[in-house]
Amino acid sequence: MTPPSAIRVVLADDHPVVREGLRGMLAAEPDIEVVGEAASGPEAVVLAQRLRPDVILMDLRMPGGDGVAAIRCLPGTTVVVLTTYDSDADILRAVEAGAAGYLLKDTPRAVLADSVRAAARGETVLTPAVAGRLLGHMRRTEQLSARETEVLALVARGLTNAEIGRTLFVSEATVKTHLLRACGKLGVSGRTAAVTKAIETGALPARGN
């Protein structure tokens, strides 16, 4: 039986076979429950507003409305892009829209499940390939911005994305965007790794200092 505290997931992809495969992969995880499926961005928005899932796995390109437009309509909702497209433009569009993560469809089942759990905890999730692309794109602005440094400092203090948003008077989606940008610049794939790398590079003071 699915535990009451299971992570509730909505799948958004226009291919029924893909949704069926994802549902089957996640069904093996006792702490994850697929509560709905959508075949387009607008349908995902409606489902998210009705079901209030913990995480939405969203394809980018779908007939009738793409994933990026849907992400923009769901501020405060944790959306992880799951797609075959890994161009710089696609990744940046998703990040700017407020995606909490970006995974490719060849992601192994165990990694996908762990990414869903991490996203539900408020963490940023990126496949290594995507993190590398973000890093490459941002080489010319590799220095962390003042706000990115501020966000990482609050992560280091143990604050969640929601708590950081309240502290800085910005939306949770904005916090996620700053974290994704910081991860890209630092070449890492998660908020904890970003803090560690920022400390190693001197962008943040060592804990306790």
Tens digit of each residue's pLDDT (9 = 90 or more) over 105-156: 999 999 999 999 999 998 889 888 887 777 666 554 467 888 999 999 999 9
What domains does the chain contain, in order, with CATH numbers?
7-121 (3.40.50.2300), 141-200 (1.10.10.10)
At residue 96, what are phi and psi to the nearest 5 degrees? -60, -35
pLDDT at 74: 92
Buried-exposed string 77-103: b where 16+ CB fall within 10 A, e elsewhere: bbbbbbbebbeeebbbbbbebbbbbbb
Bridge partners for 104 per DSSP: 83
Of the candidate ranges 100-104, 160-164, 168-172, 196-200, the one whose mean pLDDT is the lowest: 196-200
CA separation for the pair 119, 117 (Å, rounded): 5
| 3-state secondary structure at position 33 | strand
Of the candidate ranges 42-51, 125-134, 191-200, the one whose mean pLDDT is the lowest: 125-134
pLDDT at 8: 97
Indicate whether 88 pLDDT > 80.
no
pLDDT at 209: 46
Dihedral sign from CA coordinates of 84, 90, 92, 94: negative
Mean per-residue pLDDT over the chain, rounded: 89
Return the number of other C-beta atoms located less than 10 Å from residue 4's C-beta. Answer: 5
Buried-exposed string 29-47: b where 16+ CB fall within 10 A, e elsewhere: beebbbbbbbbbbbbbbeb
- pLDDT tens string 59-74: 999 988 889 999 999 9
Indicate whether 186 pLDDT > 50.
yes
| 3-state secondary structure at position 70 | helix
Average pLDDT over every residue of 84-89: 83
CA separation for the pair 1, 12 (Å, rounded): 24
